[in-house]
Chains A and B, each alone.
Chain A
């Protein structure tokens, strides 16, 4: 009751003070506005940049905290992995090989495969030749095949839905369906770069896979954004290997034949890897060739980004400090003008701490109102930027206003309010009551 009486009195007195000095309140807010806005903008900017970077890394390497395991290349690797993972959809194996779609017996438009904007066939053809001692080198092909309408792709066979680790976004059509029997004509999902290649060039629907014996007629199911600039196609591993003998893929003499296989998983799936390793070892693979790599991108990029953030926040704080000086100046002037009012209020029994609290609360309210305004401007600004620049920059496409920026704005408003209001509050508390008798 006593507290509520104090509080209610404070609200009435503070409200009267603000209403009597609307212009001043407004000017104080303006002096503070830029500083709070700077804090909000820096926080929002760094948060958005951070998320964008993380999203990119997630697409390419996997979500934070997941693990990538690369298995030894061995003739049996693909077969055993497919078998073991059949009952474990939470672990996804990915195997990579090279495929060409288009005219046979020609040099493709983008040999490598390289992104189409770097495609250049004028330099002639090169191939990697390996000798039996394991020494490989790139050699110019002496009598190269003629250039033709074919596109080279990185072909990735998947044992399950990899999007639980790499959140590809479907841009057209649909993603691979891992349920049901594998189809005899492989269904491909292209990444954006591959889709660009097919849009720009007309090529026959005939696919050859490196190490494959027969050609296949692929069906294009959809297009995804996978964050990669290499033309890539994703396919169900079982579809890939129904008509391609698993051991035959990537016949690299160093590796004893067999395709490479990478597992995407969470640390909790370690037992599956142990089973798999045991089976592979039993089949003659070298268990020391199992490499495990934890994805900890947030921590890795965090420290670099943090430094930038602190530098910018430091500059924002400086702008904020100028605003605080402004609010402090106004606050002191106001107290000077209200000396008689405060003395009178104390004469009629208002406790001095309550008066000090009211002065402080008035600047705190100014700080919070300013924070609200700055956050509002930030939200609207971000939306406008998304509308105007969203089509040009991926970064600004439908980004939500980060809550961290809101928190930073409110904190900046509060701190500014306290810094700007404390001194005037102390001054107000020190006014002697007898002032009302000497005036």
Chain B
């Protein structure tokens, strides 16, 4: 079976104020449908950078990136935008909800993105299904400032799921939540893999990492398998 994602020898050098710094120096990663991968790594090791390459926010300097068997290493921005819309769902440490919109409108944002068009009723059904899936359908009309952190993050996850993506990318989604709420959020994310969605989770929390099918660690710009059960 063709893997969802097949990355080999991916490199990326970032140029900040100082001299160019190689962040990724040959990352290999394969993710299948229904697979879940946790990425661990020290702060500044390049986890977010790697995720931004996988999610087509940015392009790698070298290596190869196959999505469903198709080479998208140098995909132009227009097509990248379409792929982001159709293939990927994103969850970030900060929830990035628009505070002037309701939960439902925030979720609908992923549908109102200039990539195709769903009629209002159709849109509404999809939004409610996604909110249902993360267990906060009753908050549909609520605005983010009046929701708890965990609720807000679940709205963000509903936004990521509403287009039924093939891959979920989550960058420290529990970083701003307490342990219990964090575990709930991981539950919600994990349940998406039951429907064949691939999940890549960046986290500092070993407990959360251990719930994924595979755990890898980013060190010195490459991914290495993490021995299971090092920490509980």
Please report A residues at the B interface, Cβ cutoff 8 Å. Answer: 1-2, 4-6, 8-10, 12-13, 16, 19-20, 340-341, 344-352, 354, 432-434, 436-439
A165 to chain B, nearest CB (A): 61
Q: Which of B148-193 contact A (CB under 8 A)?
A: 159, 171
Interface residue range, chain B: 20 to 34
Residue in A10, A340, A341, A350 whose Cβ sees the most chain B Cβ within 10 Å: A350
Most A CB within 10 A of own CB, among B51, B77, B86, B116: B116
Greatest chain A CB density within 10 A among B49, B112, B113, B114 is at B114
Q: Are B98 and A434 in contact (CB under 8 A)?
A: no
Is A349 a contact of B48 with CB atoms below 8 Å?
A: no
A354 touches which one: B55, B100, B114 (CB < 8 A)? Answer: B114
Contact of B113 among A16, A345, A433, A434 (CB under 8 A): A345
Distance in Å from the Cβ of A18 to the closest Cβ of chain B? Answer: 11
Determine whether the beta carbon of A20 is less than 8 Å from that of B100: yes
B159 near A348 with CB under 8 A, answer: yes
Complex interface: chain B residues within 8 A of A345 (CB): 109, 113
A350 touching B81 by the CB < 8 A rule? yes
B160 to chain A, nearest CB (A): 8
Closest to A438 in B: B48
8 closest A-B pairs by CB: A349-B85, A5-B117, A20-B100, A433-B57, A350-B113, A9-B114, A354-B114, A437-B48
Distance between Cα atoms of A19 and B96 in the complex (Å): 19
Q: Do A16 and B100 have beta carbons less than 8 Å apart?
A: yes
Q: Contact: A340 with B96, CB < 8 Å?
A: yes
Q: Return B143 CB to nearest CB of chain A, in Å.
A: 11
Q: Within 8 Å of chain A (Cβ to Cβ): is B94?
A: yes
CB neighbours of B113 from chain A (8 A):
9, 345, 348-350
Question: How far is A1 from B112 in the complex, measured between Cα atoms in Å?
Answer: 14
Find chain B residues with CB under 8 A from A16 CB. 98, 100-101, 105
Q: Which listed residue (B49, B100, B110) contacts A348, Cβ 8 A?
A: B110
A352 touches B77 (CB 8 A): yes
Contacts of A20 on B, CB cut-off 8 Å? 98, 100-101
Contact A437 B117 (CB under 8 A): no
Nearest residue, chain B, Cβ from A5: B117
Q: What 1/0 mask marks residues of chain B from 84 to 106 whose CB sits below 8 Å from any chain A CB?
A: 11100010101010101100010
Contacts of B96 in A (CB 8 A): 340, 344, 436
B57 surroundings in chain A (CB, below 8 A) = 347, 432-434, 437
Quick one: closest B residue to A2, CB to CB?
B116
Name the one of A2, A348, A354, A438 contacting B90, with C-beta atoms under 8 angstroms.
A348
Which B residues are closer than 8 A to A by beta carbons?
48-49, 51-52, 55, 57-58, 77-78, 81-86, 90, 92, 94, 96, 98, 100-101, 105, 109-110, 112-117, 159, 171
Q: Hey, which chain A residues are within 8 Å of B90, CB to CB?
A: 347-348, 436
B175 to chain A, nearest CB (A): 12
Q: A9-B112, A340-B96, A346-B81 are in contact. Are A437 and B171 (CB under 8 A)?
A: yes
Q: Are B78 and A351 in contact (CB under 8 A)?
A: yes
Given contacts A347-B84, A349-B86, A433-B58, contact A4 B115 (CB under 8 A): no
Contact A349 B82 (CB under 8 A): yes
Query: Closest CB-CB distance, A406 to chain B, in whole Å?
Result: 33
Residue among B49, B78, B94, B113 having the largest count of chain A Cβ atoms under 10 Å: B113
CA distance A438 to B112 in the complex (A): 25
Residues of B within 8 A of A4 (CB): 117
A9 to B81, CA, bound (A): 15
- A13: which B residues are within 8 A, CB to CB? 112
Given contacts A348-B84, A349-B82, contact A436 B77 (CB under 8 A): no
Q: Are B52 and A434 touching (Cβ within 8 A)?
A: yes
Q: Show 25 A/B contacts (Cβ-Cβ < 8 Å), sorted by A.
A: A1-B116, A5-B114, A8-B112, A9-B114, A12-B112, A20-B98, A346-B84, A348-B85, A348-B113, A348-B159, A349-B110, A349-B114, A349-B115, A350-B113, A350-B114, A350-B115, A351-B77, A351-B78, A351-B115, A354-B114, A433-B52, A434-B49, A437-B51, A437-B57, A437-B171
State the Cβ distance, B183 to closest chain A Cβ, in Å: 23
Question: Distance (Å) between the CB of A375 and the closest chain B CB?
Answer: 31
Q: How far is the CB of A435 from chain B (nearest CB, A)?
A: 9
Q: Which chain B residue shows the least CB distance to A349?
A: B85
Q: What is the CB-to-nearest-CB distance from A17 to chain B, in angstroms, rounded to a whole number?
A: 9
Distance (whole angstroms) from the CB of A437 to the closest CB of chain B: 4
Residues of B within 8 A of A5 (CB): 114-117
Q: Please, how many angstroms separate the alpha-carbon atoms of A430 and B171 in the complex?
A: 23
Q: CA A340 – CA B52 in complex, angstroms?
A: 15
Q: Is the CB of B114 within 8 A of A347?
A: no
